[in-house]
Amino acid sequence: MATTYEAEDLARPGQEVALKLLAPEAAELAPWLRREYLTLRRVLHPCLLRVFDFGRFSEGSQERLFYTSERVHGETLDRYARGRSWDSVAPAVVDALEALRFLHDMELLHGDLQPANVLVDHQGRATVVDLGCSRPFGASSRPCGRPGFVAPEVLAGGRADGRADLFSVGATLVALSRLLAAPCLLYT
């Protein structure tokens, strides 16, 4: 749907931002990108991506849409977890769960929680990104999200609530357990 680039915000000299640019072949998804931006604009939480600006420009005969957000210096949760202990990965998972709790308190489904949508900085703190599949609890939508991390009710096109994100949390924990330095017990 889109590609994210590192950029300098000319309106805020010296500030690095991430620029999410809608792909030219995905022009029909413009409402989706705008909805993602508007959702992120109203959900302010330290473990969720902070957005700044939404814009458009012309490239030839095509209109391109983008938004800018904070630049998270780090790596995806799966890359971060590779070869580490559970104890060093757990704080990032807790941050992702805090972000989900906040969204669920607002009755919003993230809709695409997976290791690639959790960015972990150099201190081991996480930021949840990519709310392109988010929607209010109970809203039906076409299936969206990475295969293997999407709850069955979402795949069936049904109405979903926070339990669908919890399915994604379970799939994420299974994926992480395969990457850790040693097997771990996720509960006692």
**Catalytic (active-site) positions:** 112
Provide φ and ψ at 156, rounded to 5°.
-80, 0
Minimal CA–CA distance to 36: which of 142, 109, 121, 118? 109
Structural tokens at position 141 = 């939508």
Number of H helices, E strands in the chain: 5, 9
Measured CA distances, 119 to 14, 84, 89, 113, 129 (Å): 22, 16, 12, 11, 7
Measure the CA angle with vertex 54, ends 92 and 137; round to 5°.
55
Region for residue 181 given its phi and psi (left: phi exceeds 0; alpha: psi -120 to 50; beta: otherwise): alpha
Among candidate residues 119, 159, 116, 151, the one with its CA nearest the CA of residue 135: 159
Estimate the crossing angle of helix 86-105 against helix 162-177, to 10 degrees: 170
